[in-house]
């Protein structure tokens, strides 16, 4: 590419034209070598205007773009909303349930848990999400000076269509409702006899000790994985598994936070990739050894 004589008087123009010349040579070389495509995403050009102005743009590599997409912002608290809360007695709400957690006390969630109405439960996707909740607008029933509490979604509060939504059918859609353990309810309300109290709530990041836990159940032809102790958003929307001999496989939600696949995984070391509702991912490489057994739990990398 021959440099125009009028450009030689402007050093910056000379530099730009030299760069353009080199780009043309690289492009020609790539074409000769079978049309190898550049790894750069062309998101701009250096443009020389009629009056010699230079507009600066940028080039971004594919690797840099992928890295930028991976490092998403941390999960942030959501807006405050209005709802109501009731309580359940005994340990009925701490075992089994629609999230698949079996014994939430043993899994470390304690009694700071809640069964959500279907409007919040979202077909089990919300299992593991954390909420900040406090009693409001009821001096008669709210515990004075009580700070807000953090609870984790671990079950479904099923609708009761035989009762009115305003008289017993508290979890009927479209109501947003929390059914919480009585010890927690007693911290929010003056007296459990209140039965139901008005609350405000918001989604908050989950603060968990240790890594994400993966509990293996099922059989060689129907592998099930329970995902729990998830930090950050807490809400898992996707799970992939990779054996050391097999490619990445997307698992399907069985119910709650139990996932399944019919891929043959026995005898392989396993890597899991968890995707949260905020788009962030966490990959736990070779978290399960080749000799893993059904019933075992493995600890991986958590969201920070």
pLDDT digits (tens, 9 = 90+) for 130-142: 999 999 999 999 9
What's the confidence (pLDDT) of residue 47? 37
| CA distance readout (Å), 189 to 138, 144, 295 | 9, 9, 40
Rounded Cα distance, 182 and 105, in Å: 14
Phi, psi of 19 (to 5 degrees): -60, -45
Cα Rg of the chain (Å, integer): 28
Q: Per-residue pLDDT averaged across 106-113, rounded?
A: 90
pLDDT in tens, 172-199: 999 999 999 999 999 999 988 889 999 9
The pLDDT confidence band at residue 89, using thresholds 50, 70 and 90, is: confident
Residue 30 scores a pLDDT above 60 = no
Residues 192/186, Cβ–Cβ less than 8 Å = yes
Measured distance CA(109)–CA(19) in Å, rounded: 60
The mean predicted confidence, pLDDT, of the chain is 82
With a pLDDT cut of 70, the percent of the chain lying above it is: 74
pLDDT higher than threshold 90 for residue 287: yes
- The predicted model gives 266-287 an average pLDDT of 98
Which domains are assigned to the chain?
5-70 (no CATH), 81-204 (2.40.40.10), 213-299 (2.60.40.760)
Question: What kind and span of H or E run contains 188?
Answer: helix 182-188
Which strand (E) or helix (H) includes residue 185?
helix 182-188
């Amino acid at each position: 590419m021959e440099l125009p004589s009028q450009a030689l008087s402007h050093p910056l123009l000379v530099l730009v034209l030299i760069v353009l010349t080199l780009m043309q040579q690289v492009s020609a070389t790539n074409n000769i070598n079978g049309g190898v495509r550049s790894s750069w995403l062309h998101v701009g050009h250096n443009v020389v205007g009629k009056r010699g102005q230079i507009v600066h743009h940028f080039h971004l590599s594919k690797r840099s773009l992928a890295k930028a997409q991976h490092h998403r912002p941390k999960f942030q608290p959501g807006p405050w909303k209005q709802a109501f809360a009731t309580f359940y007695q005994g340990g009925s709400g701490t075992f089994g349930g629609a999230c698949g957690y079996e014994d939430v006390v043993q899994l470390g969630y304690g009694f700071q848990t809640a069964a959500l109405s279907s409007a919040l439960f979202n077909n089990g996707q919300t299992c593991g999400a954390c909420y900040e909740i406090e009693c409001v607008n009821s001096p008669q029933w709210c515990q004075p000076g009580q700070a807000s509490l953090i609870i984790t979604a671990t079950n479904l509060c099923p609708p009761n269509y035989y009762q009115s939504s305003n008289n017993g059918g508290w979890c009927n859609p479209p109501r947003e409702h929390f059914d919480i353990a009585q010890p927690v309810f007693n911290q929010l309300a003056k007296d459990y006899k209140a039965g139901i109290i008005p609350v405000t709530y918001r989604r908050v990041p989950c603060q968990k000790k240790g890594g994400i836990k993966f509990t293996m159940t099922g059989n060689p032809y129907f592998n099930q994985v329970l995902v729990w102790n998830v930090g950050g958003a807490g809400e898992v929307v996707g799970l992939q598994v990779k054996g050391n001999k097999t490619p990445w496989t997307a698992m399907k939600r069985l119910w709650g936070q139990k996932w399944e696949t019919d891929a043959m995984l026995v005898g392989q070391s396993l890597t899991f990739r968890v995707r949260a509702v905020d788009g962030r991912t966490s990959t736990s490489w070779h978290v399960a050894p080749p000799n893993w057994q059904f019933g075992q739990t493995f600890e991986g990398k958590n969201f920070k």
